[in-house]
Amino acid sequence: MTKILRIDTSIKGPYSVSKKLAEKITAKIGGDVTVRDATALPVIDGAWIAAAYTPAADRTPEQKAALALSDELIAELKAADVVVLGSGVYNFGVTGPLKTWIDQICRVGETFKYGENGPVGLVGNKRVIVAYASGGVPVGSAYDLATPYIRQVLGFVGITDITVVAAQGVNVDEAAALANADAQIAALAA
């Protein structure tokens, strides 16, 4: 059975278009689903960084506790076959909760390492479907800072199979934006 990790990152709760798209995408693919609400994740801090850069064998109990959630998030990511990533666009970029999830899962020695020729992703290539929702920022436009960032950071950890399902222009014509996204979802391979 396909293992799906769905990450919800919108602060709009039940009114979130990206969350609704992510739910539809998850239903289309089908499988064993783990849902992670990134709005509940804590931001990393100095203690987290110190713990992350301390060799595992040398970590104090406090450092291990500081990384426990990160370890859990990384395990979820590595266990998934497919990641459905809800991504609203706030001020041209990703949401704060999405950035927080990214900060929690990007760890040297766990999801990437540095080799002779630069960074090497350790997650393994997974299928990622981004549920992109914007009020008026088209995917790939000069104003879209979200999707290039998502592609960059996922590539950094080794994930390059990325599809974007977009409901763009929700504030211009919501019905048309949602119909277009629904057509993209219908065309996805399960």
What CATH number has the domain bearing residue 119? 3.40.50.360
Q: Residue 178 CB: number of other CB atoms within 10 A?
A: 17
pLDDT tens-place string over residues 55-90? 999 999 999 999 999 999 999 999 999 999 999 999
Task: Give the residue numbers of the binding site for FMN.
Answer: 10, 16-18
In a domain, 167, yes or no: yes
20 — phi, psi (to 5°)? -60, -40
- Cα 151 from chain centroid (whole Å): 10
In a domain, 53, yes or no: no
In a domain, 64, yes or no: no
Query: How many angstroms separate the CA atoms of 35 and 149, rounded?
Result: 22
Query: How many angstroms separate the CA atoms of 8 and 87, rounded?
Result: 8
In a domain, 57, yes or no: no
Q: How far apart are the first and last CA of the chain?
A: 12
| Structural domain boundaries, residue 137 | 3-42+71-187
In a domain, 128, yes or no: yes
- Looking at residue 65, its pLDDT comes to 98
Task: Give the residue numbers of the binding site.
Answer: 10, 16-18
The tally of domains found in the chain comes to 1
- pTM to 2 decimal places: 0.95
In a domain, 105, yes or no: yes
In a domain, 89, yes or no: yes
pLDDT tens-place string over residues 138-172? 999 999 999 999 999 999 999 999 999 999 999 99
| 3 CB-contact burial (10 Å; exposed 0-12 / middle 13-18 / buried 19+) | middle
Query: How many angstroms separate the CA atoms of 49 and 45, rounded?
Result: 6
In a domain, 62, yes or no: no
Q: Is the pLDDT of residue 10 over 90?
A: yes
Residues 6+ apart with CB under 8 A from 63: 47, 50, 51, 54
